[in-house]
Chain A
Amino acid sequence: MNGTAAPAAVPAGREPLGGDALARVELAGIRKSFGPRRVLDGVDLRVHAGEIVGLIGPNGSGKTTALRIVAGFLSPDAGTVRVCGIEMGPDSRAARACIGYLPERPPLYDALTVIAYLEFIAAAKAIPRAKRAPSVARVLDAYELGGVRGRPIGRLSKGFRQRVGLAQATLGEPAVLLLDEATSGLDPMQTVEARRHIAQGSAGRAVIFSTHVLQEAAALCTRVVVMHAGRLLAVDRPAAGQGDVQQIDVELAGIDVAGAAALLEAVPGVASVSPVPAASVDGVRLRVEASAGDAVRERIARASAARAGLRELTVHRPSLEERFVQRIADARAIGE
């Protein structure tokens, strides 16, 4: 049987920082306020090549501001940002050259044709003249824009506009890709297509992807960062079964609650043990939070079988949505 939904994400607070030559994006102690309102409050994050990190959080949690700071559009009040090992400063052109950025509203010039727009982006990204045409042709092909290449952007459907936005972001093979709610406002078919294009464009890059859609984060991201009130609350792996924490309900016979709790707490890998209110009549039922992996489950089973009668052991893997909702609820409850 399954227990009730409970958080399984690792309360990360802040990721460990330090020199990391492999990190494509490093944020350290980022703070940002707009007037009296603090939007980011000490954000630390590292993203490596090949990672797709999803930023999820309620409206106003600071996702867009964090992305804008990484992109060089905003400067932080405190903290440092490094992109491809280059610190973002007043003259951050070298760092910006490593970035492909798609803001929430695709930044398109309606009067320009798709090809003219992409040629402008290629020139602005200082792609050598000889390589511009092949680079543009590559993204036109990758995002299936060949049929509309001569059409003014203002006459394109929303799905096509999004593709043009993605094409400009990935033009020039940037090492870092920043996507702010890249599928927002698209219909279901366009969303599926956009996700496919995002996955395709993310290969080998460090990608930060903000979204409200948890299924999208689960489908696309290798790691999910939960943001709330300008802070990182948790880091999680979205795919079911790959959570950093698992929840196991254990029902034992022939032992009291205190003894069972002591028994389970002694098992390596167990983080916490708490009683489950709906215990069976002739035994005890406890909920164990433990690090992920089969080995911990086997150790719990062996220890329980050796000291008491193991009646049932149920692994509960809360969905990303359950973990997200619980993390936000916990944060609100303690006033973070």
Chain B
Amino acid sequence: MSGFTAVFVKELRQYFATPIAYALMAVFWALAGYYFSFNVFFVNVAQMVNAFHNMSILMLLVMPLLTMRVFAEENRTGTAELLLTLPLDESGVVLGKFAAALVLLVLMLAGTAAALVPLTLFGEPDLGPVVGGYIGVFLMGCTFIAIGVLVSSLCSNQLVAALVSWAILVLLWYVDYLSGLDVSFALSATVRHLSFSSHYTDLIRGVLPVPAIVYLTGIVVWTLTLTIQILRLRRV
């Protein structure tokens, strides 16, 4: 996995050398904070599960904006040629970029932990499900990032990469609606399993069911492997 650290550091420097990382984190924190405050002060529901639900939707919107430039910008500016002619492994390049995006995801989620302060002050939250919920939301964020990285590797236009990533994520979120067609039991079961929405309900409650973890981890592994293969095919 030669070059992982070099690419990881370079990506982080690029994120923080431009307003993109700051803007995305600010938007994420502002909207997550708004929804949390709204639920606590206007709906009188002081539970993290609602916050996790809103975070999941926000991540679906924000992650494609985070990942759109990862490879599309390299393809557009010609730096992909540099990456592929330096003595780097394709796996090091892909995982370095993925890991750098994960750092931003962790920072975004860490910022939302401020919500625990009023919860702890005014209530007695059960921290087990909260930690589990964070792990679940993080796992979903990983999946969104991996899909965004894959799409970006196929594009040379950032906007196209973001739009296609959104389309795929929304499709995977709502694909369980197809089960309502009631064509066959097997098809209904499959589309329900493929849908993010059928897994995230347990995840945000901090349950961490094995099928959901296997499903999301499988998507991450599969999309990153595919991205590595796409880079290798570039040489042909």
Name B's interface SS. Answer: helix
B86 in complex: contacting residue of A96, A109, A111, A116, CB < 8 Å: A96
| A125–B82 touching, CB < 8 Å | no
Indicate if the CB atoms of B9 and A109 lie closer than 8 Å: no
Question: Which range holds the interface residue count of chain A?
Answer: 20 to 34
The A-contacting residues of B in range 5-34, CB under 8 angstroms, are 5-7, 9-10, 13-14, 17-18
Check if B79 sits within 8 Å of A109, measured CB to CB. yes
CB of B91, distance to nearest CB on chain A (Å)? 11
* Residue numbers in A under 8 Å from B82 (CB-CB): 101, 103, 107, 168
B81 and A109: CB pair below 8 A? no
A73 vs B89: C-alpha distance in the bound complex, in angstroms? 13
| A126 and B2 form a contact (CB under 8 A) | yes
**Which residues of A lie under 8 Å from residue B219 when comparing CB positions?**
none
Residues on the A chain within 8 Å of B14, using CB: 109, 111-112
Report chain B residues within 8 Å CB of A125.
Answer: 86-87
In the complex, A99→B234 CA distance in Å?
19
Contact A124/B87 with A73-B235, A93-B2, A112-B10 known, Cβ cut-off 8 Å: yes
B contact residues around A75 at 8 Å (CB): 235-236
Q: Counting CB contacts under 8 A, is A241 at the interface?
A: no
Contact A93 B235 (CB under 8 A): no
* Shortest Cβ distance from residue B158 to the other chain A in the assembled complex, whole angstroms: 13
Q: Are B13 and A96 in touch, CB under 8 angstroms? A: no
Instruction: Give the one of B2, B79, B89 with max A CB within 10 A.
Output: B79
Which A residues between 90 and 133 are near B, CB-CB below 8 angstroms?
90, 93-94, 96-97, 99, 101, 103, 105, 107-113, 116, 120-121, 123-126
Q: How far is the CB of A113 from chain B (nearest CB, A)?
A: 8
Question: Are B5 and A73 in touch, CB under 8 angstroms?
Answer: no
Cβ B79 vs Cβ A94 within 8 A: no
B163 at interface (Cβ–Cβ under 8 A)?
no
Please indicate the chain A residues that have their CB under 8 angstroms from the CB of B132 in the complex: none
Also in contact, A73 and B84, with CB within 8 A (given A109-B14, A120-B6): yes
Closest to B7 in A: A124
Q: Which residues of B contact A93 (CB under 8 A)?
A: 2, 87-89
Q: Given contacts A123-B5, A123-B9, is CB(A72)–CB(B17) below 8 Å?
A: no
Q: B44: CB under 8 A from chain A?
A: no
With contacts A101-B85, A126-B87, A152-B17 taken as known, whether A108 is within 8 angstroms of B5 at the C-beta atoms is no
CA–CA, A59 to B216, complex, Å?
A: 49
CA–CA, A112 to B78, complex, Å? Answer: 15
Contacts of A123 in B (CB 8 A): 3, 5-6, 9-10
Q: Is the CB of B235 within 8 A of A120?
A: no
Given A71-B85, A93-B87, A107-B78, decide whether A112 and B13 contact each other with a Cβ distance below 8 A: yes
Distance (Å) between the CB of B218 and the closest chain A CB? 26
A199, CB-defined interface residue at 8 Å? no
Is the beta-carbon distance between B85 and A99 smaller than 8 angstroms? yes
Give the distance in Å from the alpha carbon of A107 to the alpha carbon of B73 in the complex.
Answer: 11
Q: Number of contacts between A and B (CB, 8 Å)? A: 79
Task: From A94, A101, A109, A116, name the one whose CB has the most chain B CB atoms within 10 angstroms.
Answer: A109
Q: Which residues of B contact A168 (CB under 8 A)?
A: 82
A74 at the interface (CB under 8 A from B): yes
List B contacts of A96 (CB < 8 A): 85-87
Interface residues of B in 174-200 (CB under 8 A from A): none
**A103 touching B5, Cβ below 8 Å:** no
Chain A residues lying within 8 Å of B84, measured Cβ to Cβ, are 72-73
Chain A's closest residue to B84 (CB) is A73
Residues of chain A lying within 8 A (CB to CB) of residue B86: 96, 121, 124-125
Across the two chains, which residue of chain B brings its CB closest to A103? B81
Residues on B with C-beta less than 8 A from A94 are 87
Q: How far is the CB of B61 from chain A (nearest CB, A)?
A: 23
Which B57-88 residues have a C-beta within 8 angstroms of A? 77-79, 81-82, 84-88
Q: B87–A105 contact, CB under 8 A? A: no
Complex interface: chain A residues within 8 A of B18 (CB)? 111
Closest A residue to B93 by CB, please name it: A124
How far apart sit A103 and B234, CA to CA, in the bound complex (Å)? 16
Nearest CB in chain A to that of B10: its residue: A120
How distant is the Cα of A75 from the Cα of B236 in the complex, in angstroms? 5
Distance of A133 from chain B, by nearest CB (Å): 15
* Residues 127-164 of chain B, each 1 if its beta carbon lies under 8 Å from chain A, else 0: 00000000000000000000000000000000000000
Contact between B236 and A108 (Cβ–Cβ < 8 Å)? Answer: no
Docked CA distance A74–B2 (Å): 20
* Interface residues in chain A, defined as those with a beta carbon under 8 Å from any beta carbon in chain B: 68, 71-75, 90, 93-94, 96-97, 99, 101, 103, 105, 107-113, 116, 120-121, 123-126, 152, 168
A-B contact pairs, 5 of them (CB 8 A): A73-B84, A107-B79, A111-B17, A111-B18, A112-B10
9 new A-B contacts, CB < 8 A, other than A72-B84, A112-B14, A124-B86, are A68-B81, A71-B85, A93-B2, A96-B86, A97-B87, A103-B82, A107-B82, A109-B77, A126-B87
For the complex of A and B, the 7 pairs showing the least CB-CB separation, nearest first, are A107-B82, A123-B6, A97-B87, A111-B17, A120-B10, A124-B6, A107-B79
